[in-house]
Amino acid sequence: MRKAEKASEILKILNEIYPKVEVPLNHQDTYTLLIAVLLSAQCTDERVNKVTPILFALASGPEQMVKLDVTKIQEVIRPCGLSSRKANAIHALSSILLEKYNGMVPDRMIDLEALPGVGHKTASVVMSQAFNIPAFPVDTHIQRLAARWGLSSGKNVETTEKDLKKLFPESSWNKVHIQMILYGRNFCKARGHLIDQCMICSKFGTKNKSKSR
């Protein structure tokens, strides 16, 4: 089966299981989404969702955030890991938003990626989920699934993003990347994965179906 046909069938499965999806990170607006996604780097969404209510109670916008000492931000977000780097980035990007964008989060990829601590994946999430502009955020989890399902070589996230954008309709990008994340957590885990119990891998997986991994 060609990759395009496989992607089409996989999309049908994902749409059946997850007809409606929401960003798994709790947020109230574009700014809080940006901060939550930044915090999620090398951290679970579950842990981020425990930290952000505390942080956003102190500062839910850039005006309030810049008034906080960086050490206070770091203290609150410590459970998310890389707290020093992330705290400095949050404080610095909040200042830039006030200076350059009147306190608003920009809606251009190039401007988002120029903000401290905001990489391509974070910018892609904000573009897709806050501004509804087609983007396909790819992290290591989606990279792993794309390789396991035979949709990409999985060489790196950049290559995986290009491959998936070619295979899935642009109109599906903003939804399918969340569907993939949810499916991976529930049915296609990195460890203890039972291929025969995974609807996608049992049908399209690249590994021997009789094995678990």
* Residue 69 annotated in active site: no
Consecutive H or E run containing 126: helix 120-130
Does residue 182 surpass a pLDDT of 80?
yes
* Residue 45 annotated in active site: no
pLDDT at position 196 is 82
Give the mean pLDDT of the chain.
93
Q: Note whether residue 211 is domain-resident.
A: no
Is residue 100 domain-shared with residue 149, that is, in the same domain? Answer: no
Is residue 126 domain-shared with residue 143, that is, in the same domain? Answer: no
Q: State how far the Cα of 198 lies from the Cα of 213, in Å rounded to an integer.
A: 12
Q: State how far the Cα of 123 lies from the Cα of 34, in Å rounded to an integer.
A: 8
Does residue 209 surpass a pLDDT of 80?
no
Q: Which domain holds residue 166?
A: 3-21+136-204
Is residue 145 domain-shared with residue 112, that is, in the same domain? Answer: no
Is residue 65 domain-shared with residue 115, that is, in the same domain? Answer: yes
pLDDT at position 105 is 98
Residue of 139, 162, 207, 211 with catalytic role:
139
Is residue 108 domain-shared with residue 51, that is, in the same domain? Answer: yes
pLDDT class for 206, splitting at 50, 70, 90? Answer: low
Is residue 44 domain-shared with residue 101, that is, in the same domain? Answer: yes
Tally of domains within the chain: 2
Among the listed residues 162, 212, 158, 159, the one whose alpha carbon sits nearest the alpha carbon of residue 190: 212
pLDDT tens sequence across 93-148: 999 999 999 999 999 999 999 999 999 999 999 999 999 999 999 998 899 999 99
- Tell the burial category of 60 from Cβ atoms under 10 Å away from its Cβ (0-12, 13-18, 19+): middle
Report, in this order, helix, strand and coil percent for the chain, each rounded to 5. 60, 0, 35
Residue of 50, 72, 111, 121 with catalytic role:
121
Mean pLDDT of 11-16: 97
- Tell the burial category of 16 from Cβ atoms under 10 Å away from its Cβ (0-12, 13-18, 19+): exposed
Instruction: List phi, psi (to 5°) of 135.
Output: -155, 160
Return the SS3 of 137.
coil
pLDDT class for 197, splitting at 50, 70, 90? Answer: confident
Pick from 59-63, 71-75, 155-159: least confident: 155-159
